[in-house]
């Protein structure tokens, strides 16, 4: 065969290849049909043929290859390979819990509580976030404010909850590092990330007097302390409930009840305010302490707390009940607490004798009312909140005209749910842990 005949034969071969009906054939505008060979080797850079479907480019993906954007391609060695958004390269995604061995190509994971699964999935591909020191985080606006007033948004979604419970603002990132962050807003708070979450300094989701933490309950929840009417010789109001019932307020015929305990961790909500002292037309004349915040932290890798998460309840004003501490949920394969860090959820003290009770402290000390020993004390993980003790139930109240209300009851301690691979958390030194703890194991799927 002469040279001219050979060139004609090659041309005919090329033409016939351009029209073949082969599942391994593709073009720059036609994706591959075989899911096991999703890349189109348009220029023949990775094999012997142009326009040929191949499993994966040998160099990780040049612009000569095409695939379906976002499609999972392979998973091994704790790494998921997906098609990039451009459709012409690959993206490597870490799989901290390993790769699924059956079914679809994917990383192993777990389903977080309180409907945060979609938020966790959406955190994949988000940038790593390091909060500026002494920042303020608003769960209503989704905005972080630095000490110099600079504001910036962090990717987040709002998750609605049932039964009138506060919504959850779930902040999403590849990983989080936070150092002295004040949390404000009415929504409960969640951080979700596939990578590690580190809490340094103080994550402050506590109440301050009548101002509740994020997601605190202030209106109709049964854990709210019972109000008391202002009168010449008034009764003290009840404290807010959470891990236990709130402490009762003083009364002539028996204590004004504290709020009920909160039985579970779904929906996510903070602690409850203490009862108010109310006057005519239901006007509040003395505010109960606010409830501590509701916080959930979810990571597919680890959570490390070297600082302090504070969920304390607020102290009640004169005669009002103390607020209960909040609720913390941490879900991650590994959780470590490093001294002097940890988490605290102490109830606020009741008000009395014309003065306010103290907020739940950031230590294991009981909240009291320094100017009124008869006021109810706040609860801790080891002690229940107390009922105030001013009036005698047998002889009744004896007080002069215009005396302040009788003292209020103390707010209950808060709760924490720790969910890891083995249901435990690691400690280094003697970290502070003051909350009523429930443990559980992750269900990996």
The secondary structure of 113-150 as a DSSP string is STT-HHHHHHHTTPPPEEPPTTEEEETTTTEEE-TTS-
Q: Look at 274 and 49; give whichever has higher pLDDT.
A: 274
Q: If you search the block for the tokens 């023949």, which residue do you land on? A: 44
CB 171 within 8 A of CB 203: no
**Mean pLDDT value across residues 112-120:** 97
Q: What angle do CA 44, 48, 49 make, to 5 degrees?
A: 55
**Average pLDDT of every residue of the chain:** 87
How much is the pLDDT for 403? Answer: 60
C-alpha–C-alpha distance, residues 176 and 59, integer Å: 32
The rounded distance, in Å, linking the Cα atoms of 425 and 333 is 9
Pick the more confident residue, 140 or 232.
140
Instruction: Reply yes or no on whether the pLDDT at 154 is more than 60.
Output: yes
Compute how many other C-beta atoms are within 10 angstroms of the C-beta atom of residue 268. Answer: 27
423 DSSP assignment: S
Question: Whole-model pTM?
Answer: 0.83
CA 114 – CA 266 distance, rounded (Å): 6
| Amino acid 427: pLDDT | 96
Query: Across residues 390-400, what is the average pLDDT?
Result: 56
**Is it the case that residue 234 has pLDDT exceeding 70?**
no
Residue 397: predicted pLDDT: 58
Q: Tell me, what's the pLDDT at 417? A: 98
- pLDDT at 62 exceeding the cut of 60: no
- Distance between terminal CA atoms of the chain? 63
359/290 Cα distance (integer angstroms)? 9
The pLDDT of 137-163, averaged and rounded, is 95
Any bridge partners for residue 253, and if so which?
Answer: none
Range of lowest pLDDT (176-185, 251-260, 263-272): 251-260
Question: What's the pLDDT at 92?
Answer: 87
Confidence at residue 60, expressed as pLDDT on a 0 to 100 scale: 47
> In Å, how far are 26, 322, 341 from 235, measured between CA atoms?
82, 15, 40
pLDDT at 291: 98
* Residue where the block lists tokens 């009312």: 369
pLDDT tens per residue across span 310-344: 999 999 999 999 999 999 999 999 999 999 999 99
Give the count of beta carbons closer than 10 Å to the beta carbon of residue 29: 8
Q: Which of 81-95, 228-242, 386-400 has the lowest mean pLDDT?
A: 386-400
User: How many other C-beta atoms are found inside a 10 Å radius of the C-beta of residue 194?
Assistant: 25
Coil, strand or helix at 196: coil
DSSP label at residue 25: B
Rounded Cα–Cα distance for residues 47 and 265 (Å): 56
- Asked if the model's pLDDT at residue 18 lies above 60, the reply is no
Residues 6 or more apart whose Cβ sits within 8 Å of residue 167: 158, 159, 160, 161, 187, 188
Residue 309 in this model has a pLDDT that exceeds 50? yes
Instruction: With CA atoms as reference, report the closest residue to 240 among 128, 378, 142.
Output: 378
Pairing of strands 143-145, 135-138: antiparallel
How far is residue 340's CA from residue 404's CA, in Å, rounded to a whole number? Answer: 41
Dihedral pair phi/psi, residue 408, rounded to 5°: -95, 165
pLDDT tens readout for residues 29-39: 567 878 778 77
pLDDT score at 30: 64
């Amino acid at each position: 065969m002469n040279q001219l005949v050979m060139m004609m034969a090659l041309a005919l071969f090329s033409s016939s290849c351009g029209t073949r009906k082969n599942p391994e054939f593709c073009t720059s505008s036609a994706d591959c049909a075989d899911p096991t060979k999703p890349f189109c080797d348009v220029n023949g850079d990775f094999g012997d043929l142009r326009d040929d479907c191949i499993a994966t480019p040998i160099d990780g993906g040049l612009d000569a290859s095409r695939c379906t954007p976002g499609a999972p391609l392979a998973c091994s060695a704790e790494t998921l390979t997906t098609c990039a958004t451009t459709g012409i390269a690959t993206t490597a995604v870490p799989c901290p819990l390993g790769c699924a061995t059956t079914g679809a190509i994917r990383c192993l994971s777990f389903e977080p509580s309180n409907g945060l699964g979609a938020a966790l999935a959406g955190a994949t591909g988000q940038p790593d976030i390091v909060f500026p020191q002494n920042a303020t985080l608003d769960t209503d606006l989704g905005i972080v404010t630095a000490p110099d007033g600079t504001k910036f948004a962090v990717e987040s979604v709002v998750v609605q909850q049932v039964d009138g419970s506060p919504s959850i603002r779930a902040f999403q990132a590849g990983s989080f590092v936070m150092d002295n962050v004040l949390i404000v807003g009415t929504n409960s708070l969640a951080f979700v990330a596939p990578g590690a979450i580190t809490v340094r300094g103080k994550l402050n989701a506590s109440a301050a007097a009548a101002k509740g933490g994020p997601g605190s309950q202030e209106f109709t929840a049964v854990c709210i302390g019972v109000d008391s009417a202002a009168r010449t010789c008034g009764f003290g109001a009840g404290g807010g409930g959470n891990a236990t019932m709130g402490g009762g307020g003083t009364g002539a015929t028996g204590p004004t009840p504290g709020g009920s305990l909160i039985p579970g961790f779904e929906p996510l909500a903070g602690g409850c305010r203490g009862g108010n002292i109310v006057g005519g037309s239901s006007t509040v004349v003395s505010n109960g302490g606010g409830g501590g915040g509701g916080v959930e932290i979810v990571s597919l890798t680890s959570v490390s707390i070297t600082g302090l998460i504070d969920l304390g309840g607020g102290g009640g004003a004169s005669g009002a009940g103390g607020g209960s501490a909040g609720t913390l949920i941490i879900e991650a394969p590994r959780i470590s607490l490093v001294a002097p860090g940890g988490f605290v959820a102490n109830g606020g003290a009741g008000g009395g004798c014309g003065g306010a009770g103290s907020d739940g402290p950031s230590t294991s000390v009981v909240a009291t009312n320094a100017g009124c020993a008869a006021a109810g004390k706040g609860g801790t993980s080891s002690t229940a909140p107390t009922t105030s003790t001013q009036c005698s139930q047998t002889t009744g109240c004896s007080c002069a005209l215009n005396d302040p209300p009788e003292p209020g009851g103390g707010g209950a301690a808060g709760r924490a749910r720790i969910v890891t691979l083995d249901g435990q958390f690691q400690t280094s030194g003697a970290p502070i842990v003051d909350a009523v703890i429930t443990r559980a194991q992750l269900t990996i799927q």
